[in-house]
């Protein structure tokens, strides 16, 4: 690729990233798909076409297809209609892929994050460590359900897998 | 793909790879459909959510695996064609997966025996020479880990619970144990896949499965039945009658309205 072509490609890739940052997760709309850590790459292929790699959070997450459609629509609206979407399975998503800003937004929204698999999080409301797990499964595949023994509020927790 | 295979390994044919991938895919699909039957009927809201979530993971794994099987076969069948347009005799799931739910305890026992097998199988498949299968396995194993935590946790609670719960899960273990040998004993295709570097060695899976299951049965204060040698052949397409009934529900809609979409 020539230097001007490479510069143009880099500019387009940055526009794609910015557009992706405008796509909220359909189930937890306070975070966008980039913060959620499911955009694996944005790169320009040899033919000049941009490829966006998305990874599902869970194999059966029903939001996966909704997210693909939302990404496609956002890119179309931004005039980036010649973008190929591809599914990337490895490395598999885990809560480690959540960005720092994604974590802060989730916690502000009232969703805690397990520090490691099965380990109790702090209550997102009162920060108490005195919490109990009600169920390892919650309203979406990525969440478990906890209750705070200090402020007595139940809360969702992003599972660590 | 061929470049990744060491020269001393034999090459599996597309037909063998297709059949082997179907065994994994159909086991997840059928087990997921069974668990989905619990929706709205769980003994508590949390268990309803849990069984529904596990079903969702299993059906997600099945979709990835069926799509892969369709690509290996190369005859244009996608995940939907394979899930909805094959009859029971063409399904390759292990017989354990299709056994009816029974009560909550029976479902937990079936799931626990199956989770232990899926967990060990996917963990080993991460090193498979079938590269796409390895990627699916590396994702699935993370999900199977907490499926196992759930089912084994409940087995201990019920086995080491009341007299009634102990009696009921104990009876379920005795009843379902006869389907476990099929999980652990390789047939000619399994052996061939191991030889080709696609499937893990069956002896290692058996050893890890037995250790895992023996540990949880001991903790649940349940006796371990003697090894069963009864030959079930779900993975060769010879099923118990339960599968036909399950497929009737699973396949009804697309067969009644072919090509229907939302």
pLDDT single digits (tens) A34-56: 999 999 999 999 888 999 999 98
Split at pLDDT 50, 70, 90, the class of B262 is: confident
Residue B216 DSSP SS3: helix
A52 strand-pairing partners = A42, A85
**If you average pLDDT over residues B159-171, what whole number do you get?**
98
Ramachandran bin of B89, using left for φ above 0, alpha for ψ from -120 to 50, beta for the remaining angles: alpha
CB contact A86 to B (< 8 Å): no
Structural domains of chain B, count: 1
A118 contacts B149? CB cut-off 8 A: yes
B57 contacts A159? CB cut-off 8 A: no
Q: Is residue B101 part of a domain?
A: yes
Q: Is residue B252 part of a domain?
A: yes
Q: Is residue B214 part of a domain?
A: yes
Give the model's pLDDT for residue B7: 60
Minimum Cα–Cα distance from B44: chain A residue: A135
Query: Is the ipTM, as predicted for this complex, more than 0.90?
Result: no
Give the HSE-up count for residue B82: Cα atoms under 13 Å, Cβ half-sphere: 30
Cα A106 from Cα B77, distance rounded (Å): 41
For residue B160, what is the domain's CATH number? Answer: 1.20.1260.10
Q: Residue A23: pLDDT above 90?
A: yes
Q: Is residue B5 part of a domain?
A: no
Give the model's pLDDT for residue B230: 76
Angle at A111 between CA A109 and CA A112, to 5 degrees: 130
Q: Is residue B262 part of a domain?
A: no
Q: Is residue B6 part of a domain?
A: no
Top residue of A137, A142, A146, A158 to mutate, by most chain B CBs within 10 Å, is A137
Q: Residue B178: pLDDT above 90?
A: yes
Give the model's pLDDT for residue A40: 94
The neighbour count for residue A150, using CB atoms within 10 Å, is 13
Alpha carbon of A52: minimum distance to chain B alpha carbons (Å)? 18
Residue A125: DSSP 8-state: T
Q: Which domain holds residue B123?
A: 14-256
Residue B201: DSSP 8-state: P
Give percent above pLDDT 70 in chain A.
99
Q: Is residue B224 part of a domain?
A: yes
Give the model's pLDDT for residue A160: 76
- Kindly tell me the sign of the dihedral angle through the C-alpha atoms of B146, B147, B152, B155: positive
pLDDT single digits (tens) B79-126: 999 999 999 999 999 999 999 999 999 999 999 999 999 999 999 999
Cα A34 from Cα A85, distance rounded (Å): 15
Q: Residue B4: pLDDT above 60?
A: no
Q: Residue B5: pLDDT above 70?
A: no
The Cα-based distances of B116 to B110, B121, B243 in angstroms read 10, 8, 22
pLDDT single digits (tens) B191-203: 999 999 999 999 9
Residue A111: DSSP 8-state: E
Q: Is residue B4 part of a domain?
A: no
B149 contacts A92? CB cut-off 8 A: no
pLDDT single digits (tens) A113-152: 888 777 889 999 999 999 999 888 887 888 889 999 999 9
The answer to pTM > 0.80 is yes
Q: Residue B208: pLDDT above 70?
A: yes
């Amino acid at each position: 690729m020539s230097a001007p072509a490479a510069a143009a490609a880099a500019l387009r890739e940055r526009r794609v990233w910015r557009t992706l940052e405008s796509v909220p997760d359909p189930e937890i709309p306070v975070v966008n798909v980039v913060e959620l850590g499911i955009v694996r790459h944005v790169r320009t292929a040899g033919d000049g076409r941009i490829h966006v790699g998305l990874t599902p959070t869970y194999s059966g997450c029903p939001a996966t297809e909704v997210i693909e459609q939302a990404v496609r629509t956002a890119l179309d609206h931004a005039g980036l209609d010649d973008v190929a979407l591809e599914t990337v399975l490895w490395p598999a998503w885990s809560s480690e892929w959540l960005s720092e800003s994604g974590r802060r937004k989730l916690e502000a929204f009232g969703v805690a994050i397990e520090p490691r698999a099965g380990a109790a999080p702090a209550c997102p409301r009162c920060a108490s460590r005195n919490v109990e797990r009600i169920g390892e499964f919650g309203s979406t595949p990525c969440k478990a359900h906890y209750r705070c023994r200090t402020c007595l509020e139940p809360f969702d927790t992003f599972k660590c897998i | 793909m061929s470049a990744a295979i060491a020269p001393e390994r034999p090459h599996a044919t597309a037909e063998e790879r297709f059949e082997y991938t179907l065994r994994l895919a159909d086991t997840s699909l059928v087990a997921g459909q069974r668990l989905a039957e619990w929706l709205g009927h769980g003994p508590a809201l949390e268990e309803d959510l849990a069984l529904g979530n596990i079903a969702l993971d299993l059906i997600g794994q099945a979709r990835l695996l069926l799509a892969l099987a369709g690509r290996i076969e190369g005859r244009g069948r996608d995940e939907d064609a394979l899930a909805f347009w094959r009859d029971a005799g063409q399904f390759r799931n292990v017989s354990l997966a299709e056994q009816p739910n029974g009560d909550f305890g029976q479902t937990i026992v079936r799931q626990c025996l199956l989770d232990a097998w899926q967990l060990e199988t996917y963990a080993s498949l991460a090193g498979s020479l079938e590269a796409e299968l390895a990627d699916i396995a590396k994702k699935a194993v993370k999900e199977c880990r907490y499926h196992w935590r759930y089912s084994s946790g409940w087995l201990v609670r019920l086995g080491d619970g009341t007299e009634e719960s102990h009696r009921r899960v104990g009876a379920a273990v005795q009843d379902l144990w006869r389907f476990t040998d099929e999980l652990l004993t390789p047939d000619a295709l399994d052996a061939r896949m191991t030889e080709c570097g696609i499937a893990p060695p069956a002896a290692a899976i058996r050893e890890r499965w037995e250790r895992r299951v023996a540990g949880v049965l001991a903790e649940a204060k349940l006796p371990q039945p003697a090894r069963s040698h009864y030959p079930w052949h779900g993975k060769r397409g010879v099923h118990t009658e339960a599968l036909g009934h399950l497929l009737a529900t699973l396949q009804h809609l697309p067969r009644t309205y072919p090509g229907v979409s939302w």
